[in-house]
Amino acid sequence: MEKKYYVIGNWKMNPGNLNEAKSTAKTLQRITPNSKYVETVICPPSVFLYTLQKEIKGKTKYGHQGIHHEPKGAFTTKISASMAASAGAKFGIIGHSEERREGVTDEMVSGSLKNCLKEGMTPVLCVGENERDQNGFYFNIIRQQIETALSNIPKTRYTDIIIAYEPVWAIGKDAKRPASANEFLEIKIYIQKVITDLSNRKTADEVSIIYGGSADDTNILPFLEAGAMGFLPGRASLEPEVFSKMVLEVIDFAKNEGSK
């Protein structure tokens, strides 16, 4: 089976109101190119999700930002997997560093991952180190994040999970720079090794590993050449023109790969 590429937009806590969200989603649905090679997804804030997927339809699917680690109960402000799925989410962003920095642990991420799969959504598991140290400790962070996240997941489900490498130091407007394609490649190989250790080489090869952290239409080609199966843009996903250019670039790359 041919592997799909993904471009998954994480809107974070943007835009500021429902009208703006509708207008951005409408443009994005209209201008984003469509192809059998690439799955496009946007993950708006929870409160907009149901309305957007109901009213602003198109080839781009919708996903949810964050899935709680418990299936239901007394967790004020939180959204469960079944809620997200019933509001129209097909994907769930899990373990984002902006959640982790507010106290979400690897164990919680593991619960969220399990719930997300149980409700039939595709989890986008975010992993990434805060900084790159000289001694390579960042590899241990990645291993720990993946091993714990997958600890309650049957090995047969690993290939249903997308892993997004998002180094924290490359995320957001204050980031100095995106990661380099080589830095991505190093971690991609390492993630495959961790998954091979947990299961086998074939499974590791089949898991889609994507990149996030200041990804936009000007910088993604080297990542594709390094084997990224797609992207998780934040800011760029709020600009439909930029998002659609990214998708176009991925389609072109995928077509060339397919014809090799």
Residues that bind ligand 13P (CB under 6 A): 10, 96, 166, 171-172, 212-215, 232-236
Least distance from ligand 13P to the Cβ atom of residue 67, Å: 14
Least distance from ligand 13P to the Cβ atom of residue 199, Å: 26
Active site residue 166: yes
Catalytic residue among 39, 129, 166, 186: 166
- 199 vs 208, beta carbon nearer ligand 13P: 208
| Residue with the shortest CB distance to ligand 13P | 234
What's at 204, amino acid-wise?
A
Catalytic residue among 69, 96, 119, 249: 96
Active site residue 183: no
Of residues 196, 195, 257, 199, the one with CA closest to residue 228: 257
Least distance from ligand 13P to the Cβ atom of residue 234, Å: 2
d(CA 48, CA 53): 9
CA distances from 144 to 191, 195, 250 (A): 11, 12, 30
Least distance from ligand 13P to the Cβ atom of residue 155, Å: 26
List residues bridging with 125 in a β-sheet. Answer: 94, 163
- 158 vs 169, beta carbon nearer ligand 13P: 169
- 45 vs 71, beta carbon nearer ligand 13P: 45
- 81 vs 124, beta carbon nearer ligand 13P: 124
Of residues 30, 12, 76, the one with CA closest to residue 243: 30
Of residues 54, 126, 131, the one with CA closest to residue 88: 54
Q: Long-range contact list for 97-106, CB < 8 A, 24+ apart?
A: 97/126, 97/128, 97/130, 97/166, 97/168, 97/171, 98/12, 98/171, 99/66, 106/144, 106/145, 106/148, 106/149
Q: Which residues are catalytic?
A: 96, 166
